[in-house]
Amino acid sequence: MAKGQFITTTVSKLVRASGLLLVGLLPVSGIEGQIQNQADDGQWVMAPKNYASTRYSTLGEINTQNAGSLKLAWTFSTGLTRGHEAAPLIVNNTMYIVTPFPNYLYALDLTKPGAPMKWVYQPDPVPSSQGVACCDVVNRGAAYWNGKIIYNTLDVQTVAVDAKTGKQIWKTKLGDINTGESITMAPIVAKGVVLVGNSGGEFGVRGWLAGLDAETGKIKWRAYGTGPDSDVLIGKNFKPFYKKDQGTDLGKTTWPGGMWKIGGAAAWSWISYDPDLDLFYYGTSNPGPWNPDQRPGDNKWGSTLFARRPETGEAIWAYQISPHDLHDYDAVNESILLDLNIGGQTRKVLAHPDRDGYVYLMDRATGEILSAQTFGYVNTSFGVDKKTGELKLNPTKQTGFKTIRDACPAPPGVKDWTPSAYSPRTGLIYIPHNNLCYETQGVQANYIEGTPFVGMNVRMYPGPGGNRGIFSAWDPVQAKTVWALNENFPVWSGALVTAGDVVFYGTMDGWFKALDARNGHLLWQFKVGSGIIGQPVTYKGPDGKQYVAILSGVGGWAGGIVSGGLNAVDGTGALGFLNAMSDLGKHTTKGGMLYVFALP
């Protein structure tokens, strides 16, 4: 198999498992139960594009030769001004957009000029849920399944809406905002099970990921991120690859006293699914509080990658990337599922660009590390021991009840939630990321239910070179960067790559860009009204043309200084991000607008 090739049969199985029919733009309604291969890539039915989380489209009308001619086709205003991080969905000639709080769901008719609104669903989330959103009241999108649009609301509820009418089918409450819980992540549906996890690692929550019946909304199971094996859904089939993750009730015994009950390890970001192995993959957030001296031990299962069964939640393997996490290096980033030629052998792998600054290439059946190399500047560790799975920590950068300076990367990591894209044509992963370092001082964190539980004073600032962001192309086989572009601000948008060898992303100062996926050359850019922290998507319209869509609306953790109207005089605000972003307001303003582009 050629380097970087993605097995076609695997793609087909990934689509078949969803129960979707994606042949051209044939109507999906009424024939959901049929099993079909993916013959056309004209729709976008889940936030990560597919179960493999490649964010790759086989559409190629827009290519390196003509991308410079892209024009604005139409726009849509959400009327909101907080951070817009969602990926639009496109199903049956309808576009669906989930907004930040109050989490409206809009349906836009793509068959009519200007895509007028068909309906809007208003879930009416509890207003006080905004008070327990650590990093803006964002939402990262929805999933289509069996005639339903399924998504989460900030107040810890999951809702299913009829895709045709906008009528609510079911709504399930999964947690309690009074304990500090919220939900911002985009769910996926695997084998008829909605997979969704909570946020709140900075509020002393106990993290979990749950499985809901997609037809009824009934909770089938809940796997906690901390506690005894019975709560974490660890049983006889649990076989971690590394000795450090083997043992009994480690989610309890690696914590002092009962701190595992307020220990974080939430599941607030991306999920991937392999139907061949019948395993889904996700990462847990940081253990809490940030001050590690208050929680001696490995603090399992914080900052951990899990592989589980969708129908039962049973854990099959786990790998704790950052035991006793010192720097808020959540393991929640996407895992891209690929079949690659590694050392002359085809391996089923997952590629995980982690906040700690390493791209982990792992056997997704066993959890074995095949490679782990840095994709940005890192001085908090010296590498990963592939034999033991241990991260080699830099003792001079270990935090606690002391002051540490010039630790890199800062808590958002070399890359935060912002999802990468993979092209089987180039064999490259396109990674939006950060270049930030920080200084920190540990203080005592006292737990009060529903309030911040951090214990660190943090100030972030630009890393080496002075640029705060980078967009790069990574070769997962050679484990190295092929090309990289510096950006003034952290790259807080997702990436999209197409069969036209064009890769798209946005910047926090409001540029939507198209690059040549092979060499990073700028092909086109368009200045939108507000900074971009959303996820670009592409689709085939009813007219047969290819379109590219992006939500603008600066915000999120990185852009909270603008969307939240914050004052940067105290650089420790927004968990230290204000110090690094004090000038953002000079480059962009608040907004909430969808932009759609096409060739003339």
- Rounded distance between C-alpha atoms, residue 247 and residue 94, angstroms: 49
412 token code pair:
């958002």
Q: What's the order of all strands across the beta sheet hosting 271-274? A: 271-274, 279-283, 304-308, 315-320
Q: Is residue 309 part of a domain?
A: yes
H or E stretch covering 369: strand 369-374
pLDDT digits (tens, 9 = 90+) for 364-387: 999 999 999 999 999 999 999 999
Centroid of chain to Cα 113: 32
Q: Quick one: pLDDT at residue 32? A: 31
Lowest mean pLDDT segment, chosen from 106-110, 115-119, 340-344, 493-497: 340-344
- The residue written with tokens 């050629």 in the block is 2
Q: Quick one: pLDDT at residue 529? A: 97
- Rounded distance between C-alpha atoms, residue 67 and residue 73, angstroms: 14
Q: Is 202 considered catalytic here?
A: yes
> For the residues of 439-454, what is the DSSP string, one character each?
EEEE------TTS---
- For the chain, the residue count is 600
Considering just the CA atoms, what is the radius of gyration of the chain in Å?
22
Q: Are 171 and 158 in contact (CB under 8 A)?
A: yes
Q: Are 326 and 399 in contact (CB under 8 A)?
A: yes
Q: Is residue 177 part of a domain?
A: yes
- The residue written with tokens 């609510």 in the block is 168
Q: Are 324 and 298 in contact (CB under 8 A)?
A: yes
Q: Are 437 and 579 in contact (CB under 8 A)?
A: no
Q: Is the pLDDT of residue 567 over 80?
A: yes
Q: The domain spanning residue 391 has which CATH number?
A: 2.140.10.10
Average pLDDT, rounded, for the chain: 93
Q: Is the pLDDT of residue 111 over 60?
A: yes
Q: Quick one: pLDDT at residue 487? A: 98
- Rounded distance between C-alpha atoms, residue 267 and residue 157, angstroms: 15
H or E stretch covering 14: helix 8-16
CB within 8 Å of 542: residues ≥ 6 apart = 25, 93, 110, 111
Q: Is 291 considered catalytic here?
A: no
From 92, 103, 146, 286, active-site residue: 286
Q: Is the pLDDT of residue 265 over 60?
A: yes
Query: Phi first, then psi: what are they for 131, rounded to 5°?
Result: -75, -10
Q: Quick one: pLDDT at residue 9? A: 32
pLDDT digits (tens, 9 = 90+) for 466-503: 999 999 999 999 999 999 999 999 999 999 999 999 99
How does DSSP classify residue 253? H
Q: Is residue 2 part of a domain?
A: no
Counts for the chain of helices (H) and strands (E), in that order: 4, 38
Q: Is the pLDDT of residue 7 over 50?
A: no
Q: Quick one: pLDDT at residue 359? A: 98
- Single-letter amino acid, residue 290: W
- Rounded distance between C-alpha atoms, residue 542 and residue 540, angstroms: 7
Q: Which domain holds residue 329?
A: 8-598
Centroid of chain to Cα 247: 30
Q: Quick one: pLDDT at residue 391? A: 97
Q: Is the pLDDT of residue 268 over 70?
A: yes
Closest C-alpha to 203, from 176, 230, 166? 176
- Rounded distance between C-alpha atoms, residue 192 and residue 212, angstroms: 8
The Cα-based distances of 591 to 71, 99, 184, 250, 499 in angstroms read 21, 12, 19, 45, 31
29/561: higher pLDDT:
561
Q: Is residue 272 part of a domain?
A: yes
Q: Is the pLDDT of residue 548 over 90?
A: yes
Domain count, the chain: 1
pLDDT digits (tens, 9 = 90+) for 334-362: 999 999 999 999 999 999 999 999 999 99
Query: Phi first, then psi: what are they for 285, rounded to 5°?
Result: -85, -175
Closest C-alpha to 118, from 128, 105, 108, 126? 108
110 token code pair:
């793509």
- Rounded distance between C-alpha atoms, residue 312 and residue 548, angstroms: 37
Confidence of residue 40 (pLDDT cuts 50, 70, 90): low
Mean pLDDT for the stretch of residues 410-415: 98
Confidence of residue 590 (pLDDT cuts 50, 70, 90): very high
Q: Is residue 130 part of a domain?
A: yes
Closest C-alpha to 245, from 284, 279, 188, 291? 284
Q: Is residue 206 part of a domain?
A: yes
Confidence of residue 41 (pLDDT cuts 50, 70, 90): confident
From 181, 328, 330, 439, active-site residue: 328
Lowest mean pLDDT segment, chosen from 29-43, 44-58, 554-568, 573-587: 29-43
Q: Is 286 considered catalytic here?
A: yes
From 41, 155, 181, 202, active-site residue: 202
Centroid of chain to Cα 343: 30
The Cα-based distances of 283 to 192, 303, 497 in angstroms read 21, 7, 24
- Single-letter amino acid, residue 250: L
- Rounded distance between C-alpha atoms, residue 276 and residue 511, angstroms: 39
Q: Is residue 1 part of a domain?
A: no
Q: Is the pLDDT of residue 29 over 50?
A: no
Share of the chain above pLDDT 90, in %: 92
551 token code pair:
């939500």
Confidence of residue 31 (pLDDT cuts 50, 70, 90): very low
Mean pLDDT for the stretch of residues 416-438: 98
Helices (H), 320-363: none
- Rounded distance between C-alpha atoms, residue 130 and residue 265, angstroms: 21
H or E stretch covering 502: strand 502-506
CB within 8 Å of 580: residues ≥ 6 apart = 410, 436, 460, 461, 462, 468, 490
Q: Is residue 93 part of a domain?
A: yes
- The residue written with tokens 């892209």 in the block is 70
Q: What is the pTM of this model?
A: 0.94
Share of the chain above pLDDT 70, in %: 93
- Single-letter amino acid, residue 178: N
- Rounded distance between C-alpha atoms, residue 444 and residue 460, angstroms: 20
